[in-house]
Amino acid sequence: MAITVYRGNIVTSESLTKLKVIENGYVVVEDGIIKAVLEEMTDEYRNYVVRNFGDGIIIPAFSDLHMHAPQFTERGIGMDCLLFDWLNNFTFPQESGFRDIEYARKIYPQVIREFLRHGTFQVNLFSTIHYDSCDLLFKLLMESGMYAYSGKINMDSNSPDYYVESTEESISSTERFIVEHQGLSDKVKPIIIPRFAPTCSLELLKGLGELAGKYDVGLHTHLVESIAEAAWSKELFPMCASDGEIYEMTGLLQGNGPKIFAHVIFPTEVEERILKQYNCTSVHCPDATTNITAGIMPASKMLDNGYSIAIGSDVGGGHFTGIYRQISRAVQLSKMKEFYEEDYKRLIFAEAFYMATVNGGKVFGNIGKIEPGYKFNALVIDGMQDDGYKITTEQCVERFCYIGDDRNIVARFIDGQFIDPEEVYKRLIEKY
């Protein structure tokens, strides 16, 4: 029984619309799990060593529920394209490089270091179609201590000759991936990742749907991401009323794992039914939405209607890894939507923070709050106070999301273990 006590200002979600703040509080952590959160020290814990972070603010670590690990090297380039140009001119050539395992060995440890630097400890990742690189990414994630869903992506149609697989190959290598990785770790788990409906044949999706049922595996894909994408899907799958129905019809929603849909910018009634019926998580990716797609996810409306929405960086469609910046961008974008649409209501900061911590974290278990029973996956950030003018602790967290960065993260913990991103990176490149 290893108990550690941390002292600092604590900020966590109390509800979707309200943050809870405990000034000068204590977090008692036993074997990586939060045992108590105290406003005052009690006799029970008085004799334990207290790690005092002073004015530092203890917050839950962030979850990135939609990120493309192989697009890491594309951050901030090709950003004046729209989706299809960007895919064809930048992304497909770049991702195809992961057929070379040495390239994956070079890039993937850097991706993990970047997540750790920015306080993102739970991730749901896209990869490429290449088995060996996907296997490496999975093992690096396990070694890093992070929580993750990862797998092999599928593309057998409408893809360039140099970056495509046959239907049989795609299904059989996905099955092999699941068999060889399921059960390896309680923290890193396989997920099925058809890139999006246009790059998958009906036969492929049906084959993957069978695997979802057979192995009880979840689904991660893009859904109604742009008007052009939704129209193309409808043309390719005329038997389905909308994008979402393609995944339902092919059996991809039958597994017990999480069903995670990126973007969901134009949900129809069909998507709305499916998202509720299968307890799906939709992922808002504000930077990517701005960079490569058209439209803004109706996030506040969906939250009000009880849908679970998390936040994603969607790097490289998005250009920056820090999920905290996507929190502020989500608020900004919702204000644009409110400005242009009469009956739309903007997000408040507490809602966006909740999406990035609570809604993202719950996909991985009891993660996303500083509350008893939750994993101590947490960050300590500095208050970014100016001399001579003090803002509240809650405002400090808001300011961090708008103008802070990894330099303002003072300490990082996963399962109560202190994490040094550089040390982890060194270990990854030495071991793999």
Q: How far apart are CA 378 and CA 380, in angstroms?
A: 7
Using Cβ positions, the residue closest to ligand GUN within the complex turns out to be 317
- Residue from 135, 156, 314, 394 touching ligand GUN (CB under 6 A): that is 314
* Cβ 285 to ligand GUN shortest distance, Å: 7
Query: In sequence order, which residues have a C-beta less than 8 Å from that of residue 177 and are 6 or more positions away?
Result: 131, 134, 135, 151, 152, 190
**Measured distance CA(363)–CA(220) in Å, rounded:** 12
Instruction: Provide the pairing of β-strand 18-30 with 259-263.
Output: unpaired
In the complex, least distance from residue 357 CB atom to ligand GUN, rounded to whole angstroms = 23
Verify binding: residue 195, ligand GUN, rule CB under 6 A: yes
Tell me the closest approach of the beta carbon of residue 262 to Fe ion, in angstroms. Answer: 5
Query: In angstroms, what is the minimal distance from the CB of 244 to ligand GUN?
Result: 15
Q: Is 91 in the site for ligand GUN (CB under 6 A)?
A: yes
- Which residue, 113 or 263, is less far from ligand GUN as judged by CB? 263
The answer to whether residues 292 and 75 touch, using CB atoms and an 8 Å cutoff, is: no
- Count residues binding ligand GUN (CB under 6 A): 11
The Cα-based distances of 395 to 285, 371, 392 in angstroms read 23, 21, 5
Q: Which is nearer to Fe ion, 222 or 412 (CB)?
A: 222
Query: Which among ligand GUN, Fe ion, none contacts residue 225 (Cβ within 5 to 8 A by kind)?
Result: ligand GUN
Chain positions 312 to 371 lying near Fe ion, rule: CB under 5 A, are 314
Residue 217 contact among Fe ion, ligand GUN, none, beta carbon within 5 to 8 Å by kind: none
Structure letter (DSSP) for residue 408: G
Residues 350-379 touching ligand GUN, rule: CB under 6 A, are none
Closer by beta carbon to ligand GUN, 163 or else 400: 163
Residues numbered 246 to 285 that lie near ligand GUN (CB under 6 A) are none
Query: Total binding residues for Fe ion by CB under 5 A?
Result: 1
Quote the tokens at residue 424: 């982890």
Contact 414, 408 (CB under 8 A): no
Beta carbon of residue 320, minimum distance to ligand GUN (angstroms, whole number): 14
Single out the residue of 8, 209, 255, 317 in contact with ligand GUN (rule: CB under 6 A): 317
- Nearest-5° angle of CA 148, CA 216, CA 119? 10
Q: How far is the CB of 34 from ligand GUN (least distance, A)?
A: 35
Q: Judged by CB under 5 A, does residue 74 bind Fe ion?
A: no
Sheet of strand 259-263, all strands in order from the earlier edge strand to the far edge: 219-223, 259-263, 281-284, 308-311
Helix (H) or strand (E) run with residue 205 in it = helix 202-215
By C-beta, is 83 or 424 nearer to ligand GUN?
83
Contact flags string 196-215 toward ligand GUN, x per CB under 6 A: x-------------------
User: What is the rounded (10 degree) CA torsion for 361, 363, 366, 368?
Assistant: 10
User: Which one, 28 or 297, has the nearer CB to Fe ion?
Assistant: 297
**Residue 398: C-alpha distances to residues 54, 205, 359, 392 (Å):** 19, 42, 18, 10
Helices (H) and strands (E) in the chain, counts: 16, 17
The CB-of-318 to Fe ion minimum distance in angstroms stands at: 8
Residues of this chain, 279-318, that bind Fe ion according to CB under 5 A? 314
64 counts as binding Fe ion under rule CB under 5 A:
no
Q: Which of residues 67-86 bind ligand GUN (CB under 6 A)?
A: 68
Residue 283 and residue 277: Cα distance in Å, rounded? 17
Q: Is 34 in the site for ligand GUN (CB under 6 A)?
A: no
**Minimum distance, C-beta of residue 355 to ligand GUN, in the bound complex (Å):** 18
Return the number of the residue (65 or 146) whose C-beta is nearest Fe ion: 65
The two beta strands, 308-311 and 378-381, are unpaired
Tracing tokens 């409306």 back to the chain, one arrives at 301
Q: Is 45 helix (H, G, I), strand (E, B) or coil?
A: helix
**Residue 290's binding partner, choosing from ligand GUN, Fe ion, none, with beta-carbon cut-off 5 to 8 A by kind?**
none
β strands within 165-274, DSSP E: 188-190, 193-194, 219-223, 259-263
For residue 250, CA distances in Å to 149, 253, 369, 411 come to: 21, 8, 36, 45
Query: Judged by CB, which is closer to Fe ion: 314, or 394?
Result: 314
Q: Which of 35, 113, 130, 222 binds ligand GUN (CB under 6 A)?
A: 222
List the one residue from 114, 165, 225, 394 that touches ligand GUN (CB under 6 A): 225
Binding site for ligand GUN (CB under 6 A): 68, 87, 91, 195-196, 222, 225, 288, 292, 314, 317
Binding site for Fe ion (CB under 5 A): 314
